[in-house]
Amino acid sequence: MAAKKFVLVLVLAAIVAGGVSAQNTSGKENYVSGTAGILSAGAAYERFFTPRISAGACFYWANAFILWNELEAGLFGRFYMWRGLYGELGLGFHQHTGFSTYKYEILGYTYTGTDYVKTTGVGITPAMGYKFDPGKPGGFFIEPGIKIPITIGKKTPAWSLLSSDESFDLGFGAAFGVVVYVGMGYAF
């Protein structure tokens, strides 16, 4: 079902693309980028199919000390709306670690707790960013953006006062995060 919605969004984006100005005027089709920081790292490959539509693969890790941790490996589709401004939808493996409220049952009693929980499963990642070339089109580029990963999967304690046992099942659930990034790369 989620795959059908993803394909529908890409098809609608292609239909709307007719009246929007082109992004990729450099003639370059392959873009490789990377991010590196004190609390994050990542890499991406992007291939343009039309001047406004591209697809690619990415991997990233982001951390905000003990508050949360994000790890993603997946595929994405982008639609360039105006110049370098794009909307993105990603799908892949995702792991979100952070504080979460959950319910669990022991000996027939239901308890509610808040702990440091790891959610591992499918990641659906809407994003928005801007890609610009500081010089002539093509070659070196800078790409700031924001991702809002939604992880849907199994929840287990990452570190807990109750149990640090990975087999302690907290059930199925969703987790959300926000990742702000600045990438640099090269088009060829």
Report how far residue 133's alpha carbon sits from residue 141's, in angstroms, rounded to the nearest whole number.
4
pLDDT tens digits for range 23-68 = 454 556 888 888 776 778 889 999 989 888 999 999 988 887 667 7
Helices (H) and strands (E) in the chain, counts: 1, 10
Separation of first and last alpha carbons in the chain: 36
pLDDT tens digits for range 82-109 = 888 999 999 999 988 887 777 777 788 8
Q: Do 157 and 165 contact (CB within 8 A), yes or no?
A: yes
Could you give the domains of the chain?
30-187 (2.40.160)
Q: Is 163 helix (H, G, I), strand (E, B) or coil?
A: coil
- Taking the CA atoms of the chain, what radius of gyration do you get in angstroms? 19
**What's the predicted TM-score (pTM) here?**
0.70
